[in-house]
Amino acid sequence: MLIFTTITQKFKNEILKSQMIIWNGPLGAFEYTPFDQSSVQIAGTIKKYSKDFKITSLAGGGDTISLIKSAKAEDGFTYISKAGGALLEWLGGKELPGVRALK
Structure confidence at residue 2 (pLDDT): 55
b/e code 15-30 from CB counts within 10 Å (16+ = b): beebeebebbebbeeb
pLDDT band at 90; cut points 50, 70, 90: confident
pLDDT digits (tens, 9 = 90+) for 26-83: 988 889 988 899 999 999 999 999 999 999 999 999 999 999 999 999 999 999 999 8
Run of H or E residues at 22: strand 20-23
d(CA 5, CA 9) in angstroms, rounded, equals 6
pLDDT band at 3; cut points 50, 70, 90: low
pTM for this predicted structure: 0.84
Structure confidence at residue 14 (pLDDT): 93
